């Protein structure tokens, strides 16, 4: 299989001039809520910063040669929605997230510098290979938990993650949690739901606009754990632009609010922390029938900030 991370998806977006990752500031926040109906919160989320730096302590070289300090940073954003209430959906989502973070921590290499044409292709291929291994790892971790406690048989989780290096966004997606990009007031869904209703729409059996209200819109065709032999993920590479906002969320939010509502909250709250709070409050005001989780990221080109 070819590496889906290269080239990036540019359909419907203008061609963007390269901006070094070191010039991009990302405003990040995440929030989760049990909602008003569920007894447990089966959602899990994580925001982690990865990086390396080189800092001059002392040297006989003239100041600034080669540099006083250099830093390369990336961020990992994850939302997982556990499946099967009584079958320990919270265990599944937490196991998937914690196991993946541990695999990332143990990895001997992180993709932190992608702007060198000579090494970019190899870095992207290695990153894709690691992502697929993480998917297998979380699947095996959930199966190990089921083997240790048969009462959790059938548990599983959705998985939507974004690895952000500057303005490069690398997604891995399984299930029906969603990722969106807000640009110039327009909200675009970056992920494709893995549900029977969406499958019907893809086959032309129902209109796309009926998917959200269809009686099978929560019946998943893919999940991590559960009864899947080898989970299959969607991978996508999107290039953000300064001023864009990224939203990753569970269906406890999107079942309660339309895309126009989400865009309005993101527009009304320019900082990520208040945007997350606004999104959660919106879902609660409309009934909060499920667990609700939101991660918001805003991108700024600091070289253009006065």
- Looking at residue 99, its pLDDT comes to 97
Domains in the chain: ranges and CATH: 21-301 (3.60.40.10)
- Looking at residue 133, its pLDDT comes to 95
Residue 169 — φ and ψ, nearest 5°? -115, 120
- Looking at residue 129, its pLDDT comes to 93
Contacts 24+ apart (CB under 8 A), 212-220: 212/254, 212/255, 217/176, 217/193, 218/176, 218/251, 219/195, 220/83, 220/158, 220/175, 220/176, 220/194, 220/195
Q: Which residues in the chain land under pLDDT 70?
A: 1-2, 6-18, 85-87, 226-228, 305-306
- Looking at residue 85, its pLDDT comes to 60
């Amino acid at each position: 299989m070819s590496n889906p991370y290269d080239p990036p998806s540019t359909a419907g977006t203008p061609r963007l001039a390269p901006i070094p990752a070191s010039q991009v500031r990302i405003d990040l926040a995440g929030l989760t809520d049990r909602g008003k109906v569920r007894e447990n919160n089966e959602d899990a989320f994580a925001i982690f910063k990865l990086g390396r730096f080189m800092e001059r302590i002392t040297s006989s070289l003239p100041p600034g040669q080669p540099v006083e300090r250099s830093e390369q940073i990336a961020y990992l954003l994850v939302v997982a929605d556990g499946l099967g209430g009584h079958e320990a959906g919270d265990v599944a989502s937490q196991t998937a997230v914690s196991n993946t973070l541990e695999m990332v921590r143990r990895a001997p290499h992180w993709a932190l510098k992608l702007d060198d044409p000579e090494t970019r292709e190899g870095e992207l291929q290695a990153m894709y290979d690691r992502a697929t291994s993480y998917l297998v790892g979380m699947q095996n971790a959930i199966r190990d938990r089921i083997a240790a406690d048969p009462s959790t048989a059938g548990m599983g989780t959705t998985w939507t993650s974004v690895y952000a290096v500057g303005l490069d966004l690398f997604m891995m997606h399984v299930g029906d949690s969603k990722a969106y990009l807000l640009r110039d007031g327009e909200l675009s869904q970056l992920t494709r739901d893995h549900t029977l209703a969406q499958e019907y729409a893809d086959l032309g059996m129902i209109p796309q606009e009926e998917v959200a209200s269809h009686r099978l819109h929560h019946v998943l065709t893919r999940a991590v754990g559960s009864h899947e032999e080898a989970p299959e993920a969607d991978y996508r590479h999107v290039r953000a632009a300064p001023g864009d906002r990224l939203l990753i969320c569970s269906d406890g939010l999107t079942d309660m609010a339309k895309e126009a509502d989400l865009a309005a909250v993101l527009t009304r709250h320019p900082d990520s922390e208040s945007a997350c709070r606004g999104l959660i409050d919106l879902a609660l005001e409309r009934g909060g029938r499920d667990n609700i989780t939101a991660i918001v990221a805003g991108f700024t080109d600091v070289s253009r900030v006065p």
